Structure 1
């Protein structure tokens, strides 16, 4: 999808929508990132930077995006976490759209927030301790927040991640995956299904979560850790937020250290039960298999291309380890 011609056309369409946020169509504009969505950086007449997120079609519906923006606005209003403010359009709304070759592309805009992604070489565990506390505050807010009428976000459970109705595609299509590999992941999936069913999905264990708190969605500036990109927020196990926070690096040897740091930070705000700790390996394995499917179904994105079938091979190794640990 995201070849040079498409991106050029997308920029042209976005320029036509800029006046909805008070910007001129010829405002400075450049592509920032491509993943599920394409994000652009623009500058208004005063030189103030604004981030525009152009949504991938057929993923989030308009009411789902508005629900995300409602939660972000509530988090900011309640001082829960540092996160960019959604920018209001001239008509008072938060969501715009344009048509591109018969498809509707939804557009949201956010204030620019300074900072850089935390790197493993910069004491990532220390940042994950802070992230654990932030995550606990997000969960506490979700438990007590009275969502706006019509609030709708996706549910991330076994079926919608790697089961019967996967939202990111079938893991069996994983790049480089052969029949023995499929059989191995199937065995891991069967055990995951049973373990997660035993853990349960009662009200104290599930709720609205960010679901993508990986370093690419964190901004470090001095001693401040900000959280961005709530595009995948939805209903899932609260502890799944850590599994998502180590996306694409689940195989790294420093993950146990990150987990302990995250849990320690979380417990400065809210308790973590022994059963919550015990389910962490299962949730990380679930996420790894889900991302194996995502890479196959989003092969045109830079993230998927950088991972390739090596990520699938890593998933097999982790599946072997998961099965042998029980």
Structure 2
């Protein structure tokens, strides 16, 4: 899917709308990342960078995208988190669109924030302590904020995450999954479902979250930690934000250290009940099952190609640990 012709088509569609944001049609433009959406960087007439996100079709509705930007704007207005400002077009609208071979692709623009992704080898635990504080702030805002009646975002419950019709695909299609592995993951799914059902989804435990606070969506710049990409924000367990924060590295031996750092930072802002702390290993494993489905259903993406069948084998190993009661 992501061949040169496809990317050229996206770039041409995006260029057609650059003047709507006051940029020249031939402004410098380059691809930053591509996964669910394609993210480009352009330069305005003064040479300042502007980030454009080209949405994949048939995933988020127009109302859902607008709702995401509403929450981001509210977070900025209330000083809750450092996150890029959504930029309006000349006509005042936040979103543009172009036709891509018969599919409508929505486009959003954001200010550019400097910084780099926190990575293993740096003081990752220190930044997860900061992330814990930031996450608690996001959750507090979500509990207080009253969105408009038209606010629409997806709900990330068990069925949406790991059911047979999950948004990111069925984990049963995982790359390299054999019958024995499938049986293990079936037992795991049943266990996880029972555990989250016992935990519950009350207003104290379930609400609007970022849902993708992994390092790729964090920017470190000096002492500042910024949060980007609210594209997956929706309604889920508040503690699922930690599970998402360790995406693709759930198997690493330093995860317990990150968890303790995150909890320490969170508690500087808000309390964490014993049942909320206890559910974290369940949600981390549930997230891993979700990502296993994502890797299979997005095999054309660079991220999925880097994971491959070893990611499935790692998921089975984590499943066996969770089923045996030895999950960290």
TM-score normalised by the chain length of structure 2: 0.98
**SS of 1:211 mapped into structure 2:** coil
Match of 1:110 in 2: 110
Matching of residues 66-105 of structure 1 within 5 Å: 66-105=66-105
* Residue correspondence of structure 1 range 238-317 to structure 2 within 5 A: 238-317=238-317
Partner Cα distance (1:308, 1:83) in 2 = 32
Q: Deviations over 1:24-67 (max 9, x none)?
A: 11000000001110000000000110000001111111110000
For 2:279 and 2:137, the matched residues in 1 are separated by 21
Give the TM-score, by structure 1 length.
0.99
Deviation of the 1:187 alpha carbon: 0.2
2:130 and 2:9 map into 1 onto residues whose CA distance is 40
Partner secondary structure for residue 176 of structure 1: coil
Q: Give the corresponding residue for 1:185.
A: 185
**In the aligned structure 2, how far is the partner of 1:172 from the partner of 1:310?**
15
**Residue 3 of structure 1: CA displacement?**
1.1
Aligned to 1:176: 176
Equivalent-residue separation in structure 2 for 1:317 and 1:180 (angstroms): 12
Tell me the equivalent position of 2:145.
Answer: 145
> Do residues 34 (structure 1) and 24 (structure 2) align?
no
Question: Hey, what's the Cα distance between the residues in 2 that align with 1:311 and 1:9?
Answer: 31
SS at match of 1:52: strand
Structure 1 residues 269-302: Cα deviation after superposition (integer angstroms, max 9, x where no partner): 0000110111111100100000000000011111
Per the TM alignment, residue 4 of structure 1 is displaced from its structure 2 partner at its CA by 1.1
- 1:218 match: 218
C-alpha RMSD of the superposition: 0.7
Post-superposition offset of 1:117: 0.2
Separation in structure 1 between the aligned mates of residue 247 and residue 148 of structure 2, nearest angstrom: 30
After TM superposition, give the deviation of residue 219 of structure 1 in Å. Answer: 0.2
Q: Partner residue of 1:322?
A: 322
Is 1:22 aligned with 2:22? yes
Aligned counterparts of 1:57 and 1:296: Cα–Cα separation in 2: 19
Q: Structure 2 CA distance, aligned partners of 1:4 and 1:295?
A: 22
- Structure-2 residue corresponding to 1:154: 154
CA deviations over 1:191-210 (Å, ceiling 9, x no partner) = 01111100000110000000
C-alpha distance in 1, partners of 2:309/2:123? 29
CA distance in 2, matches of 1:273, 1:125: 21
Distance in 2 between the 1:248 and 1:199 partners? 24
How far the C-alpha of 1:148 sits from its partner, in A, is 2.0
Gaps of 5+ in 1: none
Q: Which runs of 5+ in 2 are unaligned?
A: none
C-alpha distance in structure 2 between counterparts of 1:83 and 1:323, whole Å: 38
Aligned residues: 326
Cα separation, 2, equivalents of 1:164 and 1:40: 33
* Partner SS, residue 60 of structure 1: coil
| 1:164 shift after superposition | 4.0
Specify the alignment match of 1:230 in structure 2: 230
SS in 1 for 2:30: strand
Distance 1:235 1:293 in 2: 20
Deviation at 1:149, TM superposition (A): 2.6
Further displaced range: 265-274 or 163-172: 163-172
Query: CA offset at residue 9 of structure 1?
Result: 1.1
- Give every structure 1 segment of 4 or more consecutive aligned residues whose post-TM-superposition deviation is greater than 6 Å: none
